[in-house]
């Protein structure tokens, strides 16, 4: 049953991702992008990594998708104009696909049964973040605060 679910979710995710890349209206593309993330989060749920799945929904749908949608709304509208085929993009896509396929084919460990891991609970993630990874966490926090203040400074009203 689980493998059937994986196949269904994967098809939905791929369809949403394809729609995000090909749809004419930018807004539809952005919404399909959000849908693709729901699919990825569902895959994480199936794998038992609830925390990662929830954070993915939280960050990518609650924040990033809303941001993208706002950006589309606030910038110039030149939608529905056919720009022809983007050859450099196609080349890049083929290169990435080829590289990934090569790496997957080269990898031998896929068939080997993974060693049993302890179930990753939210508590364990929290412990790890607050003990072994506390410095990276603090640095990221500092960076985000700086970005927040920078954004505020950019939009601040100039007093004359």
Partner 1 sequence: MINQSIDGFLHPNVSKSVDQVFVNAKQWLLFWLAGAPGWVVQVASSLINIFALLAVFLTLFAVMSVLERKILGRIQNRYGPNRVGPFGLLQPVADGIKMLIKEDIVPARADKLVHFLAPILIAAAAILALGIIPYGRNMTPFTIDGGILFFFAVGSTTELAVFMAGWGSNNKFSMLGAMRAIAQMISYELPLIITVIPVVMVVGSLMPDRIVAAQAGYTFGFVPRWFVFTPWGATAFILFFVSGLVESNRTPFDVPEGESEIVAGHMTEYSGFKYATFFMAEYIGMFAITGLASTLFLGGWHSPVTALEFVPSYVWFFLKLSALLLVYIWLRGTLPRTRVDQIMNFAWKFILPMSFTCVIAAAVWHYAGRGLRGWLWSLVVIAIVYTALSMLLDTQRKFAPRVYRFAE
Least distance between partner 1 and beta carbon 18 (Å): 17
Cβ–Cβ < 8 Å for 34, 65: yes
Please say which residue, 110 or 152, places its beta carbon nearer to partner 1: 152
Please say which residue, 36 or 57, places its beta carbon nearer to partner 1: 57
**Element spanning 152, H or E:** helix 134-155
Least distance between partner 1 and beta carbon 64 (Å): 10
Please say which residue, 40 or 57, places its beta carbon nearer to partner 1: 57
Binding site for partner 1 (CB under 8 A): 1, 25, 27-28, 31, 34, 50-51, 54-55, 57-58, 61-63, 65-66, 69-70, 73, 121-123
Cβ–Cβ < 8 Å for 53, 61: no
Least distance between partner 1 and beta carbon 45 (Å): 10
Cβ–Cβ < 8 Å for 16, 33: yes
Q: From CA 81, how far away is CA 99, in angstroms rounded?
A: 32
The angle formed by the CA atoms of residues 138, 140 and 142, to the nearest 5 degrees, is 70
Please say which residue, 95 or 147, places its beta carbon nearer to partner 1: 147
């Amino acid at each position: 049953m689980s493998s059937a679910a994986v196949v269904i979710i994967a098809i939905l995710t791929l369809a949403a991702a394809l729609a995000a890349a090909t749809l004419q209206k930018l807004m539809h593309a952005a919404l399909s992008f959000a849908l693709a993330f729901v699919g990825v989060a569902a895959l994480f749920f199936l794998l038992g990594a609830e925390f990662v799945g929830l954070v993915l929904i939280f960050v990518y749908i609650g924040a990033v998708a809303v941001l993208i949608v706002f950006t589309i709304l606030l910038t110039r509208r030149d939608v529905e104009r056919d720009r022809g085929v983007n050859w450099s993009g196609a080349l890049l896509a083929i290169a990435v696909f080829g590289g990934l396929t090569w790496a997957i084919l080269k990898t031998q460990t896929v068939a080997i049964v993974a060693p049993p891991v302890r179930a990753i609970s939210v508590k364990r993630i929290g412990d790890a973040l607050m003990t072994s990874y506390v410095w990276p966490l603090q640095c990221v926090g500092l960076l985000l605060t700086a970005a927040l203040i920078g954004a505020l400074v950019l939009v601040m009203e100039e007093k004359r």
